[in-house]
């Protein structure tokens, strides 16, 4: 369960950074978060493989993966200056 908590904390920090990037219009920070976020998605997949037989953990991991996807979408929008 420690690895789930670490994944959550990491994604939370990424979210805070991407919001900082949005408000400061820092495209460089958004780009770095976008690159790192690919690893976060892979981490979620590995965690899902590890905890696939625990319904609560699998549900939590799917939510983490959704959070990672949202961070990725925000970073893309910031980079292309859509928002």
Segment 51-78 shows an average pLDDT of: 92
Q: What size, in residues, is the chain? A: 83
Minimum mean pLDDT range among 25-29, 34-38, 73-77, 79-83: 79-83
Residue 44 and residue 57: Cα distance in Å, rounded? 11
Tell me the average pLDDT of the chain.
91
Give the model's confidence band at 38: pLDDT under 50 very low, under 70 low, under 90 confident, else very high: confident
For the chain, what percentages of helix, strand and coil (3-state, to nearest 5) are there? Answer: 85, 0, 15
- What is the pLDDT averaged over residues 41-52? 91
> What percentage of the chain reaches a pLDDT higher than 70?
96
The structure's pTM equals 0.85
Tell me what pLDDT residue 49 has: 92
């Amino acid at each position: 369960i420690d690895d789930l908590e670490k994944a959550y904390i990491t994604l939370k920090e990424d979210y805070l950074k991407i919001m900082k990037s949005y408000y400061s219009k820092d495209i460089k920070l958004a780009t770095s978060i976008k690159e790192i976020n690919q690893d976060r998605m892979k981490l979620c997949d590995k965690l899902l493989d590890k905890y696939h037989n625990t319904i609560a953990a699998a549900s939590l991991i799917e939510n983490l993966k959704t959070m990672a996807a949202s961070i990725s979408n925000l970073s893309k929008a910031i980079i292309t200056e859509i928002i």
